[in-house]
Chain A
Amino acid sequence: MIINAGQIARELKHPLNADDPLIITPSPDLEELKKSGSASIDLRLGCWFLACRASRTGLLDVYKSQDVIPSEAKLTKSYYVPFGDGFVLHPRAFVLGVTLEWIRLPTDRSAMVIGRSSWGRHGLIIATATGVHPGFTGCLTLELSNVGEIPIMIKPGTTICQIFIHKVEGGDPKFVDQSSFIGSRKPTLGAIKLDEIARLLANDDFNNQ
């Protein structure tokens, strides 16, 4: 069940469970939220960007041994853009951004982040419905891509995406491993983890037997 913005505003102001509150900081304007009638909250663009270093890597092959996959530091370059400054996203460019807001979800709430259609119509695509798990705390990494024909200037503090918060039913807080959901204030590439089945299916030695 998606929680209405007015209800979110009430939960932000008066947490349902003081030991496990929903937190968004910096906080949105709660009075505006109550009146909005919306089902989502707008989030702003943060100050950090992470771009891939195209010249360093010929091919990203996650099926190789973890030892030979380049580290995040080798694959990417981090940019800090202070408030007042901007980042120009050129056509067909892809960069990771981050929300300005640090979000903490209680163990009975999950969330989904999607772009804002007004940006999308200008060619700026933000993520592909990022899921946020119960117990998460941190800033959300955004996948920003300019699929339009003209460069787009984006500045920290701009409302760039929206978050829908859902109620999670039937969960047991004791099974929420919060250590897995500690985010950062910067965007991160993260590792692509292949499970055992994917590894077995991708193994071409089997074809040669």
Chain B
Amino acid sequence: MLGHSVWESERFAAKFEKQIENGVLKELKNSRWEEYELLNVGSKVSDLDSDDMFVRSTWLPAYTWALLQSEEIFCDFLGLYLFAESYLHAFSYLTSPSTSGQRSLGYPNITRRIHHLVYAATVMKISIPAGFKSDFAKEEEPTEPSQKLLVSIADTVSNLLATDLIKLVQDFANEKKLHRRNPDKVSQIQDEFRNMIVPTLEQQTLTDILNAGWNCSLDSDIWDNVSHDKLHEAKDQILQDLILKSMEVSEYHERTKKEQ
């Protein structure tokens, strides 16, 4: 939701509309013409550049899907920038091995989404959790010929924008001075969760709190020093409390700081 709100409020779609339209037409003319012609008998390459609404309707879905896919890629990249490793953990937790049924055409397929995330994580110097890539199963592609062709074109076009979208996220984050995950802070919060079973003592950022929470959640040895089964049974609930309370403590510090 956050990424979509940013995409909407900053009118980022406008930056890519022309590029995507040109990309779709170029792909149709140069690489997919034979398939297109089979589905649209009697078409001529020159027709594609016309404003004829009937001709436009034959390729417009590819444009719409490429634009939607670009927005989704942007959202993934922004989520990754903001929440670092914790975004990848949450992504895996929520979507692996796959959402059932055919892929959603407004998203890159899951294989490509993972590829983009791994690429962006490398650029942003974010560690990729072990086994992340293999957590996901392939999604069903559409079988209807026209849809199959057009979504494949949308995939190709949105794929070419990945680098531009990473840069867009980085520029936006720099302009807005967005916080990035700080490994020292993550480690400090993690120690508070792990050693004392208390929420954070100071004001911390959301990303540091979430990353500390995920690290503790994935640590099977956590609270071994306390060594009581009841603690391990309630691990998720306790961690949830510590994470949410840490956010409340940080809000408290933020609000009282402003009033000084």
Could you tell me which A residues sit within 8 Å of B by CB distance?
19, 21, 23, 25-27, 46-47, 83, 100, 102, 104, 137-139, 157, 177-180, 182, 184-186
Q: Which one of B23-31, B113-121, B251-259 contacts A?
A: B251-259
Which chain A residues border B108 with CB–CB below 8 Å? Answer: none
Total count of chain B residues near the partner, CB < 8 A: 24
Which chain A residues border B245 with CB–CB below 8 Å? Answer: 102, 139, 185
The smallest beta-carbon distance between B231 and chain A, in angstroms, is 5
B130 contacts chain A at the CB level, 8 A cutoff: no
C-alpha spacing A27/B202, complex, angstroms: 9
Q: Which one of B13-21, B65-73, B176-184, B192-200 contacts A?
A: B192-200
Which chain B residues border A21 with CB–CB below 8 Å? Answer: 196
Q: Which of B200, B229, B238, B244 contacts A182 (CB 8 A)?
A: B238
The smallest beta-carbon distance between A16 and chain B, in angstroms, is 14
Which chain A residues border B226 with CB–CB below 8 Å? Answer: 178-179
- Who on chain B is nearest to A25 by CB? B201
Which chain A residues border B238 with CB–CB below 8 Å? Answer: 182
Which chain B residues border A177 with CB–CB below 8 Å? Answer: 228
Q: Which of A19, A25, A184 contacts B198 (CB 8 A)?
A: A25
Q: Beyond A177-B228, A178-B226, A184-B241, is A102–B199 a contact (Cβ under 8 Å)?
A: yes
Q: Quick check: B197 and A25 within 8 Å, CB to CB?
A: no
Which chain B residues border A26 with CB–CB below 8 Å? Answer: 249, 252-253
Closest 3 CB pairs of A and B: A179-B228, A179-B230, A185-B245
The smallest beta-carbon distance between A180 and chain B, in angstroms, is 8
C-alpha spacing A145/B253, complex, angstroms: 29
Q: Quick check: B197 and A27 within 8 Å, CB to CB?
A: no
C-alpha spacing A178/B223, complex, angstroms: 11
Q: Beyond A179-B226, A185-B244, is A83–B251 a contact (Cβ under 8 Å)?
A: yes
Interface of A is mostly: mixed
Which residues of B in the span 216-243 have a Cβ within 8 Å of any Cβ on A? Answer: 226, 228-231, 234, 237-238, 241
Q: Which of B231, B251, B252 contacts A179 (CB 8 A)?
A: B231
C-alpha spacing A188/B10, complex, angstroms: 44
Q: Quick check: A25 and B228 within 8 Å, CB to CB?
A: no
Q: Quick check: B249 and A137 within 8 Å, CB to CB?
A: no
Q: Quick check: B197 and A182 within 8 Å, CB to CB?
A: yes
C-alpha spacing A25/B249, complex, angstroms: 7
C-alpha spacing A23/B231, complex, angstroms: 20
Which chain A residues border B197 with CB–CB below 8 Å? Answer: 104, 137, 178, 182
- Who on chain B is nearest to A47 by CB? B248
Which chain A residues border B231 with CB–CB below 8 Å? Answer: 178-179, 182
Which chain A residues border B230 with CB–CB below 8 Å? Answer: 179-180
CB<8 Å pairs between A and B, sample of 5:
A23-B196, A25-B199, A139-B245, A182-B234, A185-B241
Which chain A residues border B244 with CB–CB below 8 Å? Answer: 185
A184-B241, A185-B245, A185-B248 provided; 7 other pairs, C-beta below 8 A?
A23-B201, A26-B249, A26-B253, A102-B199, A104-B196, A179-B229, A184-B237
The smallest beta-carbon distance between A53 and chain B, in angstroms, is 23
Which chain B residues border A19 with CB–CB below 8 Å? Answer: 195
Which chain B residues border A83 with CB–CB below 8 Å? Answer: 251-252, 255
C-alpha spacing A23/B195, complex, angstroms: 12
Which chain B residues border A180 with CB–CB below 8 Å? Answer: 230
C-alpha spacing A102/B244, complex, angstroms: 12
Q: Quick check: A157 and B252 within 8 Å, CB to CB?
A: yes
- Who on chain A is nearest to B197 by CB? A137
